[in-house]
Amino acid sequence: MTYRFTYRKRVEFADTDVAGIMHFSNFFKFMEITEHAFYRSLGFSVHPFHGDGESPQVGWPRGQASADFRLPLQFEEEVEIELLIEEIRNRTVKYFFRFWKNPDSETEKAVAATGRFTVICVSMDAETRRMKAVAVPDEWREKIAVAPEGMIPKSTE
């Protein structure tokens, strides 16, 4: 079972604002990209209708999303996004994200931002496209776990 996943991504020109730093909205995009890569690493689809036909067909819309910004990320910088599972409930999973600036430097590695997603496990009717909250499937629960205490800072919410 896993509670941690990392993903590296370069800040592209389209991710930046006029000052050449990553626009705040793109931190959410990077979190979602990391979340999708995490799902794929577990062998699951990110879309409820594009699975292998065997796994439960569920989707994960956001119930809550937040971010705290500390250091700017600039065009061409490589960032490591760390995903940690903060909480697993009956129908929701809460993720904590940490953006590492200068991830390969012993002396300059620093947290640029942190964020959280609470995602809701849903099934979707193929015809009506209506979503219904459902229990997190056992196939998912067998592969994920909550991060050990102390790895994630306490929420200030």
Task: Tell me the pLDDT tens digit for each residue of 100-132.
Answer: 999 999 999 999 999 999 999 998 877 887 889
In a domain, residue 157? The reply is no
Q: What range defines the domain where residue 33 resides?
A: 4-141
User: Can you give the pTM of this predicted structure?
Assistant: 0.91
Give a yes or no: residue 82 inside a domain.
yes
pLDDT greater than 90 at residue 137: yes
Q: Is the pLDDT of residue 91 over 80?
A: yes
134/108 Cα distance (integer angstroms): 43
The CATH number that applies at residue 99 is 3.10.129.10
Q: Is residue 109 part of a domain?
A: yes
User: What is the torsional sign of CA 83, 86, 87, 88?
Assistant: positive
Residue 156 pLDDT grade (very low, low, confident, very high; cuts 50, 70, 90): low
User: Residue 155 domain-assigned?
Assistant: no
Count up the domains in the chain and report the number. Answer: 1
CB of 9 within 8 A of CB of 75?
no
